[in-house]
Structure 1
Amino acid sequence: MKFIQFSILTIVSLSFLVCSSLPKKENPTYNGCSLKFKVIELEYTKDRKHHLVFEDNRIKVGGVIYDDLSSVFDDWIRAKKNGKYGFIDLKDKVVMDFEFSLVGDFNEGYAVFRAGEDRKDPRGFVDKKGDLLGNQYYDMTYLFQNGLAGVEINKKYGFIDRNGKVVIPIKYDFITGIIDGWGIFKREEHQGLLNSKGQEKMFIHDKYELRGYYYEGTIVYKYLKKEGIMDSNFKEITPPNFDYIGNFHEGLVRFKIGNKWGFLDKNGKIVIEPKFDSEYDFSEGYASVSIGEKYGIINPKGEYLIEPKFSYISSFHEGLAVVEEDGKKGFINKNAEWVVPPVFDKLNSYKDGVFTFAIEEKWGFVNLRNCKN
């Protein structure tokens, strides 16, 4: 065995840490657990080349042996080996065999999957016992949200519940997920809002087209290739002056004019001027933005937590954001400090106490759920 200890990694990465614009947090912790670790490089093994060992034995690490790993959903992680997908649990045990050519993450007890290799093959919902929901396939399936899932048959859309029962007829030409109580629908010449009981709130207008999702009491609409915002009663908040408008998150929505991005508030006022080349929605009080090919982080006032200097920064999830520098990824906290150094080739967002990572194309996971505040 060849041991590459975290202390040695620190020495190897010292030039990076000194040159980095972000400080390294001394004695990094998260929810009471120490995040100090070492990477062990294993020799003379076929499939397993690396392993992570944390000083804090409450932190559990899965084997770095998979071709791909998703984030954790419903306590399972979607994994890929030898070209097929299956699922593992947080004890690193295979709980569903690697037999799917295409499968989504579990959400509310079900995962969408494709029955064959071809993209046109039928799709269904599988539960954690491996049973097909309702013994029914569809042309397309969408994940469960708030107890309902969208399905498509013959280019028509509707919703089923977790018993596989059709609760909103499969008759719509377009339908979004029902979020904050309502979804957007289109049916023949009609459009409007639809709730989980199938009740429709019609929007009558021969020039405006509803688009996107219903979020935080707002709807995006389109007119002559420009977009604006309405409230739930179809009253105009912002005229259609924008090339693109996203969905409200934490009271702000991203918009695009020309090639630049900024943010509006719920009164339709520009609160952050369009000066960015790309941006993400606000999450946990911050948004990731880019100028050119460099990413930074701003607060709702448009002030920088981190100026655009990095090749990638994710949104914050549970207090941590993924940052990439010099081709490697790690986690920072909201004080803009490295709490997990950038040593990973790939790194998914921290979610539900777990994160998944890759070193030299092999994936593993870290479970911090036993940590206590």
Structure 2
Amino acid sequence: MSKGLQKISVMLVLSFMLSAFTTFTAAAASESKTNSTSRSIGSRVQTIQSKFEDAGAFFGNENAEVAFVKLGGKWGLIDKSGQVIVQPVYDSFKGASSTAKFVQRNKKWGLIGSDGKEIVPPKYDSVGSGFYDGLAAVSVGGKWGYIDGKGNEVIPLVFEFASAFDDGVAFVGGYWDQSDVFIQSFIDTSGTTVALLPKNLSYPWNVDGNQIFNEGLLWVESTTSINPSESASSELQGAHTSEGTKIITKTGVVDPKTGEVILNAEYDDLVSDTSSHYFQGGYAIVAKDGKRMIVNKEGTVISDLPQYKDAEFIYETGFNEGYAAISVDGKWGYIDTSGKEIVAPKYDEALNFSNGLAAIKVNNQWGFIDKSGKVIISPQYDEVGYFSPEGFAYVVKGEKYGFIDKAGKVVTPIQYDGASNYYDGYAVVVEGKKMGLIDKSGQVIVKPQYDSIYTFGGSDRSDLYFARQVTDFSKKLFVKGFATVKLDGKWGFISIQESASSPSLSATPTASKVLINGKEVSFEAYNIGGNNYFKLRDLAAALNGSKKSFEVKWDGAKNAISLESGKVYTPVGGELQVSGKSTAQTATATDSKIYLDGKEVQLTAYNIGGNNYFKLRDIGKLFDFGVTWNGKANTIEVDTSASYKDE
């Protein structure tokens, strides 16, 4: 696929602050620096002056929120007032948890908290990518083990390698009982072996304390040495050794919790390097004996894609929202997870679905189709982005950028020299070589004046590439309320704050009946702004036992809600209880993070009386069940046997 990528480094800034923290309105700031104005629309911008060599995101809790910044070639910590609380003495740092970071000094790694105190002094040779299930992998002298958040070595450093934990399981390897036999196994958070990796299989990629599981499973390989002169098959493919022997590599999948082989190691490497060893939404496309097929996480072959048997077949980007873009003999179309051809290959290029629409290219012009294949926005743009959770995508005409909504209406004029996707309600726009920010209404919040802006994803900072194929909307421009910006070669921070508290919304009790698969169920639900909002746990309880059941877990320490599709719901008490309130209630927006099958998703939620309420249609779209409105019967109908359709 021709990428045609427009790349603009939007680099994130966190800076060591020796000067005062300043506050000013967006318009006043723009006038003082550029002798022009930008509209502030009731907000103000706080800054920590750009004067530092480099920076990382703010982290911590309500008691202490700090950021790493670099000065004189070393890293230290500042607070939100810009005051230095830890002098710059560290050589490097990297993510560990929301309240602590790994720090390196004299080639050794330790752990520091957001209060500026060292939890573990630098003593480890290597550390993993962070804390998962409360543990982080660390190593000394080539031996790996695990520490907890207090720095205690809870699993001894005895392994030759160790992965990060994922859902209570990690992958380790070592020599046991002073034996020369090398064993690869899966352990739980107590260090107990729960399963062994079969001896004929291996994980050949980098481990080093990183997350390696894919939707709860592990892709593995088997290798076989074959002398071609002794083989009757001329179809075998593999790497030649210096002696002429071929090394044949095959791929399979193992369940780390049981050691069960889900897919026998008899598949060729996945069809494309970009999707190699990757389930997405529970499905992957693999190849065997020259044939492609769809498999699910239970190891079942869903379809062997017979319609593409003799075609030149390309599969690059995985299943997204239940569909995959595929290329057949140079033309692009879409298949669903059953292998059914939803849109015949007829487009010059095609991108993944995002928020119900997918970009397609015809005669060098881009437009959008829906999941039925209907053209919603006719091909007319030179370049496009993905539709974000906010419902906007950037478009390009004649090298100028703007934004459209899902109906194709231009909501931000096509006038900028660059633009990013929307992230957490804001998008970067470029004028000349300077970057600023607009909000969801398209209003300029920060006039373009910065050289660069960083984004953060997980524990890592990164350049923001304005690239069509990137759909990771979990990235953040603002972390703990601050974005990091570069001005005249130095880094600082900006924070956008409303000049007055955001008004609360009125939530009216929903008078409509609710049918779940034809059966009436009583909910405590509210109408906010014309949409119906339900308690998440009420919906999980009501759908339990259906094809669309899901589990709900709460992590108070991380202020995060975890959703697991296809899992039995575990009641916690209080589900489907109705208070009988008949008067309007006060609703305020909630800021909890929400994860679906380990991936962060963006949903609008409100707190009403201490409970979080979610838009029913958002949940229907997330888990793909039908939501319809019967006006004559004043009834909301939920059908778990039907797929979700937009209003």
- TM-score > 0.5, shorter chain as reference: yes
Distance of 2:397 and 2:125 partners within structure 1: 40
Which TM-score applies when normalising by structure 2?
0.43
> How big is the shift at 1:133?
2.9
Residue 393 of structure 2: aligned partner: 287
Q: 2:48 aligns with which of 31, 35, 39?
A: 39
Q: 2:278 aligns with which of 156, 172, 177?
A: 177
Distance of 1:163 and 1:365 partners within structure 2: 45
Matched, 1:305 2:399: no
Which string of whole-angstrom CA distances, capped at 9 and with x for unpartnered residues, describes residues 219-243 of structure 1? 3332221111233333333222112
Moved more, 98-107 or 332-341: 98-107
Moved more, 179-188 or 5-14: 5-14
* Paired AA for residue 157 in structure 1: T
* Paired AA for residue 346 in structure 1: I
Residue 305 of structure 2: aligned partner: 203
- How many residue pairs get aligned? The number is 346
Q: 2:204 aligns with which of 120, 138, 141?
A: 138
* Paired AA for residue 403 in structure 2: I
Residue 441 of structure 2: aligned partner: 335
In 1, are the aligned partners of 2:132 and 2:165 still within 8 Å (CA)? no
Relative to structure 1, the CA distance from residue 231 to residue 335 in structure 2 (aligned partners, 3 Å threshold; closer, same or farther) is: same
> How big is the shift at 1:151?
5.0
In 2, are the aligned partners of 1:76 and 1:87 still within 8 Å (CA)? no
Match of 2:280, SS state, is: coil
Residue 453 of structure 2: aligned partner: 346
Which TM-score applies when normalising by structure 1?
0.69
Distance of 2:494 and 2:42 partners within structure 1: 23
Distance of 2:399 and 2:127 partners within structure 1: 32
Relative to structure 1, the CA distance from residue 235 to residue 91 in structure 2 (aligned partners, 3 Å threshold; closer, same or farther) is: same
Q: 1:253 aligns with which of 358, 361, 370?
A: 358
> How big is the shift at 1:334?
0.9
Unpaired segments ≥5 residues, structure 1 = 29-35, 113-122
Superposed, 1:43-62 pairs within 5 Å as 60-62=65-67
In 1, are the aligned partners of 2:53 and 2:490 still within 8 Å (CA)? no
Relative to structure 1, the CA distance from residue 188 to residue 23 in structure 2 (aligned partners, 3 Å threshold; closer, same or farther) is: farther
Distance of 1:85 and 1:357 partners within structure 2: 28
Relative to structure 1, the CA distance from residue 333 to residue 289 in structure 2 (aligned partners, 3 Å threshold; closer, same or farther) is: same
In 2, are the aligned partners of 1:179 and 1:214 still within 8 Å (CA)? yes
Distance of 1:214 and 1:341 partners within structure 2: 38
Match of 1:133, SS state, is: strand
Matched, 1:158 2:252: yes
Distance of 1:18 and 1:342 partners within structure 2: 13
In 2, are the aligned partners of 1:108 and 1:145 still within 8 Å (CA)? no
Residue 217 of structure 2: aligned partner: 148
Relative to structure 1, the CA distance from residue 10 to residue 158 in structure 2 (aligned partners, 3 Å threshold; closer, same or farther) is: farther
Relative to structure 1, the CA distance from residue 40 to residue 134 in structure 2 (aligned partners, 3 Å threshold; closer, same or farther) is: same
In 2, are the aligned partners of 1:74 and 1:109 still within 8 Å (CA)? no
Residue 272 of structure 1: aligned partner: 377
> How big is the shift at 1:204?
1.5
> How big is the shift at 1:110?
9.8
Matched, 1:236 2:341: yes
Matched, 1:5 2:18: no
Relative to structure 1, the CA distance from residue 8 to residue 339 in structure 2 (aligned partners, 3 Å threshold; closer, same or farther) is: closer
Report % sequence identity. 23
Distance of 2:291 and 2:424 partners within structure 1: 41
Distance of 2:286 and 2:298 partners within structure 1: 14
In 2, are the aligned partners of 1:63 and 1:364 still within 8 Å (CA)? no
Moved more, 338-347 or 362-371: 362-371
- Cα RMSD after superposing both structures: 5.1
In 1, are the aligned partners of 2:428 and 2:437 still within 8 Å (CA)? yes
Relative to structure 1, the CA distance from residue 256 to residue 50 in structure 2 (aligned partners, 3 Å threshold; closer, same or farther) is: closer
* Paired AA for residue 218 in structure 1: Y
> How big is the shift at 1:262?
1.4
Distance of 2:414 and 2:495 partners within structure 1: 29
Moved more, 265-274 or 142-151: 142-151
Distance of 1:87 and 1:186 partners within structure 2: 44
Residue 32 of structure 1: aligned partner: none
Moved more, 189-198 or 7-16: 7-16
Which string of whole-angstrom CA distances, capped at 9 and with x for unpartnered residues, describes residues 105-130 of structure 1? 88888999xxxxxxxxxx973459xx
* Paired AA for residue 346 in structure 2: N
Superposed, 1:316-335 pairs within 5 Å as 316-335=422-441
Match of 1:62, SS state, is: strand
Distance of 1:218 and 1:185 partners within structure 2: 16
